[in-house]
């Protein structure tokens, strides 16, 4: 699993190659929460955002130690701008009709999807189980003049307050417990005519999970998207869940 910055993606601008971005970097903090920062710019269509990520992220991943010792602290995987997040952000820009009122991002990481939703007029709520990820999401929101309700929380213990027309998740359903958590969150928190958009770039959705979603009254639509990771094309599977009967909620 690589955590190298997605320099091959034309939507991520390297500061060393973009003089305009370099000028804005001098006004942005160089460090936060003990991390040296790297400021990048993501742009697709009319939506342009600056966001901070962890500089030299790969140096924080000790692969040998992870393979040798199950108790080694987990690297900051949240600090990588995963292809699923980029693909989902791009999909939202291409389909502005999905952004309506309250939007929730599950496992926000750096907050790219949340930022796009806020830029497009959504009232955005976002959470991540890692406290530092929440801090980066809030930092990036401030940098772009946006407001996001962000907090630390685990999807498996999330208590829904109110309903959301849109629930988003990108590269977070990597085990059965998280798949179940997302499905249960959709049952409790999705508005009657709302939708769940879930993007995955490194895993295949559990077919039994999708059948369970259908059994719980959701329609399931799948779509293949493509992103670029380290100069190579990466297939991203987008899943859309909608209630079969919106009048039952």
**Per the domain annotation, does 56 fall within a domain?**
no
Structurally, the chain folds into a number of domains equal to 1
Mean pLDDT across the stretch 26-41? 83
**Per the domain annotation, does 48 fall within a domain?**
no
**Per the domain annotation, does 183 fall within a domain?**
yes
> From residue 195, how far is each of 55, 70, 99, 186, 215 by CA, in Å?
35, 37, 10, 8, 16
**Per the domain annotation, does 98 fall within a domain?**
yes
**Per the domain annotation, does 19 fall within a domain?**
no
CATH at residue 201: 3.40.50.150
**Per the domain annotation, does 211 fall within a domain?**
yes
**Per the domain annotation, does 119 fall within a domain?**
yes
Range of the domain at 125: 82-248
Q: In this predicted model, what pLDDT tens digit does every residue of 167-203 receive, in sequence order?
A: 999 999 888 899 999 999 999 999 999 999 999 987 7
Cα distance between the two ends of the chain: 41
Q: In this predicted model, what pLDDT tens digit does every residue of 48-99 receive, in sequence order?
A: 999 999 888 777 655 555 445 566 566 778 888 999 999 999 999 999 999 9
**Per the domain annotation, does 73 fall within a domain?**
no
pTM of model > 0.75: yes
């Amino acid at each position: 699993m690589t955590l190298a910055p997605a320099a091959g993606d034309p939507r991520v601008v390297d500061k060393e190659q973009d003089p305009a971005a370099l000028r804005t970097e001098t006004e942005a903090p160089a460090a936060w929460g003990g991390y040296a920062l790297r400021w990048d710019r993501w742009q697709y269509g009319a939506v342009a955002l600056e966001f901070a990520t962890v500089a030299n992220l790969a140096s924080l991943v000790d692969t040998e130690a992870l393979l040798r010792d199950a108790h080694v602290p987990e690297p900051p995987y949240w600090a990588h701008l995963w292809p699923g997040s980029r693909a989902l952000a791009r999909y939202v820009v291409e389909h502005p009709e999905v952004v309506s009122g309250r939007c929730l991002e599950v496992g926000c990481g750096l907050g790219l999807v949340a930022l796009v939703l806020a830029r497009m007029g959504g009232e955005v709520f976002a959470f991540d189980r890692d406290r530092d990820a929440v801090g980066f999401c809030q930092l990036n929101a401030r940098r772009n003049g946006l407001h996001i309700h962000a907090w630390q929380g685990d999807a498996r213990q999330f208590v829904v307050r109110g309903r959301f027309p849109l629930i988003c998740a990108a590269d977070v359903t990597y085990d059965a417990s998280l798949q179940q958590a997302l499905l249960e969150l959709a049952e409790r928190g999705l508005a009657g005519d709302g939708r769940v958009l879930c993007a995955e770039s490194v895993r295949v959705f559990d077919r039994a999970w999708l059948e369970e979603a259908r059994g719980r009254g959701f329609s399931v639509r799948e779509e293949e998207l493509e992103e670029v990771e380290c100069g190579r094309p990466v297939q991203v599977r987008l899943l859309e869940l909608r209630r079969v009967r919106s009048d039952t909620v």
